[in-house]
Amino acid sequence: MKKLLKPLLILFTAIILSSCACMQNPDTCDNDPLFIAWSGSYNRHAESSDYTQPNEDAGILKSAKSTTAGSGSDRSGVPGIRAGIGYKVPLSPNFNLETGAFYAMKGSKLSDTNFEDQIKLSYIDIPLLAKYTFTESPFSIYGGLQPSVLLSGKQKLDFNGTKTTVDLKENLNKLDLAASLGVGYAFDNGFGIDLAYDLGLKNIYKDNYGGYELKNRSIRLGVRYTFKNKKQSN
């Protein structure tokens, strides 16, 4: 946990320092810092090749993993949504930091001939991104770290038509971390388009959970709207 907090503290410190710099040089600041964003996502899980059967108290989840560890199964992606509010902190006319809070659906699906296992997760994503906008261009690129706080975790199992839902939350890490990369295009009317990829860096399961490892992966395509500053528009 301490290893994860260190880079986050560095980014937060940079945000605070840049805010002070903007107060001293307001002409370099972005006058439209607040935006909302919503996107559709395609989510998968990167699965470890080593399989260790979990503890006995895992219940039906143990049976599911034993089944999916065999041949003939195929882990695939599931759709999701991501929506929330963000805030930009300028460092220069072309460079700024972005953060915010976004509700995000993640997960994956594992299918076999007579078996289906779908994991549905929900998080609050808190991206900490550095963004560069090209001079006299609507295009931008960005990247950084994205901590996520777990809200819920469900596993839906279907054995030959017998359906069961398992609450996974107690077996999942409450904090996830991903590397995020993306490109954006901004229109003059405040709207913009974003294409991003989130690469999970942590196992979503707790370390003592049988050695089973899954990491979140997400591709997102969405729209944002930046609220125009009234003073600037007058």
Give the pLDDT mean for 66-84.
Answer: 69
The residue extents of the domains of the chain are 2-233
pLDDT per residue as tens digits for the range 173-205: 999 999 999 999 999 999 999 999 999 999 999
- The highest-confidence range among 73-82, 106-115, 174-183, by mean pLDDT, is 174-183
Question: Which fold, 2-233?
Answer: Porin (2.40.160)
Query: Cα–chain-centroid distance for residue 199?
Result: 8
98 pLDDT band, cuts 50/70/90, is very high
Residue in the structure block whose two tokens are 């395509």: 221
Contact status, residue 171 vs residue 205, Cβ threshold 8 Å? yes
CA distances for 68 relative to 4, 97, 197, 232, angstroms: 31, 42, 27, 58
Radius of gyration of the chain (CA): 21
Which letter does DSSP use for residue 168 in this model? -
Query: Which uninterrupted H or E stretch holds 215?
Result: strand 214-226
pTM confidence score: 0.79
CA-wise closest residue to 146 among 32, 41, 30, 25: 41
pLDDT per residue as tens digits for the range 115-168: 888 999 999 999 999 999 999 999 999 999 999 999 999 999 988 888 999 999
Q: What is the three-class DSSP state of 101? A: strand
Which letter does DSSP use for residue 169 in this model? G
